[in-house]
Amino acid sequence: MANLTRLVEVRTKILKENDVVARRMRDRFRDSGVFVISLVSSPGSGKTMFLEKTLAMMRQRGHRVAALVGDLATENDAERLGRAGVPVRQITTGTVCHLEAEMVQAALQGWDLNELDYLFIENVGNLVCPATYDLGENVRLVLFSTTEGEDKPCKYPTIFNTADITVITKMDISDAVEFDEVAAEKHIHSVRPGMQILKVSAKTGDRMNVWLQWLQDRCDASLDTSVIET
């Protein structure tokens, strides 16, 4: 019992320290006028392809965008996202299965946030640990794909409860894998009633415009709130 108590105390301290840094980062993001989006998912959900498509489309529309990418060991995702023609930095976490606010803060050294409109943070592929760590983001997006099973939200309810929107990816192969859209929506809403759901295919581009419009609306709403608070 003593060891368990000590573990809880250490974990609580780590989370408190993370929250302090996250609040500081959130203030910095707000003051710089950059809207921050974090993406969480399990491995293989299509998160990197989704983000690559998002970055490319936003750049084409004249938005100033950049991305931070978390991974345990490689820089493969950062190299891939760099093809979108936007600034990208890799955060290699080693044995840590999630990003923390301090990692984000360190990765941003030397970047002028005033030159960005949007910053994307792609977390390590994991639906457990990232749920607990605030990164100072404006919105958190949880993705799961048609190949993962409709009951994913029931298996990982915490991450869905801490997210602002669910995006179901790989809709272009939904028929082939016999994905049950109705069941998936039912499971999502059983965990998070009323949660907004978008279904997209980054590969074909289907409904990616809907996702970008949702993002634009959230960004505009945050700017309106900032003006009111000021």
pLDDT beyond 90 at 75: no
State the pTM of this model.
Answer: 0.89
Q: How far apart are CA 30 and CA 39, in angstroms?
A: 19
pLDDT beyond 90 at 92: no
Q: Which helix (H) or strand (E) holds 160?
A: helix 157-161
Confidence of residue 7 (pLDDT cuts 50, 70, 90): very low
pLDDT beyond 90 at 197: yes
Domains in the chain (CATH in brackets) are: 2-229 (3.40.50.300)
Cβ neighbours around 18 below 10 Å, total: 19
Confidence of residue 2 (pLDDT cuts 50, 70, 90): very low
Q: How far apart are CA 199 and CA 169, in angstroms?
A: 6
Under a CB-based contact definition with an 8 Å cutoff, are residues 159 and 128 in contact? yes
Cα diameter, the chain: 57
